Structure 1
């Protein structure tokens, strides 16, 4: 097991029980994402955590599959799906790249609060593009700690992360700018069709395969 998987395994129970910090922002993300889903869609969510978002969106689609690097997160997600009797959702422990390799046919790929935790997003964008049909959607929400429009508070967060990593209180975090992230997605063959900025230094992006 990788250090990243161990980190999220240790965090899983606390993550699952923590309340949503900004409910209006979360509901906005859900509503905008749901607006792109069709009843016949097969959805793959990368970095699904303990499955909360998947369980809320699964009723809008035909099939929903979530992957996460943490086996403990996946165990909790499966328990929640069983408890809620949601029968069109499945979960697998896998890295984002492994999840794309193993994915069957998909119409929508989600990466919500994941991309800033990955080292090689450019390769992942290419894999996602290859897996989707023409017109398929890639929807992401990403913390962007290098974005100038956020102001000076981004410097405090960026300074804290290396110190927290030294004592194993934080995972790897990549610093994105809004335009750099969108350019990388477009370079993989997508058209960015919707963006919005959340209060937590995050960028919501909807991209469509050309």
Structure 2
């Protein structure tokens, strides 16, 4: 098991219990995401964590597959699906890069609060583009910790993260701007359909394969 999986396994129980910090922003982007999905769609969520978002989206699609690098996160997601009798949601252990590289048909790919934690983000975007059919959607929400919209907090984040990483209390983090994120999506071949900050620190982007 690699270091990232070990880190997320350790915090999985606490992660599962932590409340969403900005429920209004979460609910808004959840509804925006639903508006791009169809009842006949097969969906892949990268970095699904404990499956909360996938399970909320499941009634709106034919099937949703959640992938996460942490086996313990996936165990919790499986337990939630069984407890809620959600039969069209399945979960698997896989990194974002590996999950996006599978030769499976998906109509849309999702990744929420993930890509600032992914090394080689651009390679994953390219794999997602290759996986999707023309017109398929790639919907993401990414903390852009280097963007000016974050204000002075961006300097505090950087100052805090490095020492925490040295003692194993923080994972890999890259400091992106909005233009970094959207530029990487365009370079991979996507057209930006919708974007906004919900909350201010996080860039919500709907991209379409052209």
TM-score, normalised relative to structure 1: 0.98
Deviates more, 1:126-135 or 1:199-208: 199-208
What is the SS of the residue equivalent to 1:119? coil
Q: How does 1:12-51 map to 2 (within 5 A)?
A: 12-51=12-51
User: What does residue 125 of structure 2 align with?
Assistant: 125
Alpha-carbon distance in 1 for matches of 2:25, 2:173 = 22
User: What does residue 60 of structure 2 align with?
Assistant: 60
Change over 3 Å in CA distance of 1:90–1:102 after alignment to 2: same
Alpha-carbon distance in 2 for matches of 1:164, 1:150 = 20
Alpha-carbon distance in 2 for matches of 1:178, 1:100 = 22
Once superposed, which parts of structure 1, at least 4 consecutive aligned residues long, lie more than 6 Å away? none
Aligned residues: 210
User: What does residue 97 of structure 2 align with?
Assistant: 97
What is the SS of the residue equivalent to 1:168? coil
Alpha-carbon distance in 2 for matches of 1:198, 1:19 = 17
Alpha-carbon distance in 1 for matches of 2:153, 2:52 = 29
Unaligned runs of 5+ in 1: none
User: Deviation at 1:2?
Assistant: 0.3
What is the SS of the residue equivalent to 1:102? coil
1:195 and 2:186 matched:
no
Alpha-carbon distance in 1 for matches of 2:52, 2:145 = 25
User: What does residue 70 of structure 1 align with?
Assistant: 70
Deviations 1:73-106 (A, max 9, x none): 0000000000000000100000111112235100
Unaligned runs of 5+ in 2: none
Q: How does 1:58-207 map to 2 (within 5 A)?
A: 58-102=58-102, 104-199=104-199, 201-207=201-207
User: Deviation at 1:22?
Assistant: 1.1
Alpha-carbon distance in 1 for matches of 2:97, 2:157 = 27
Deviations 1:34-89 (A, max 9, x none): 01000111100000000000000010000100000000000000000000000001
What is the SS of the residue equivalent to 2:101? helix
User: Deviation at 1:18?
Assistant: 1.0
User: What does residue 2 of structure 1 align with?
Assistant: 2
TM-score, normalised relative to structure 2: 0.98
What is the SS of the residue equivalent to 2:39? coil
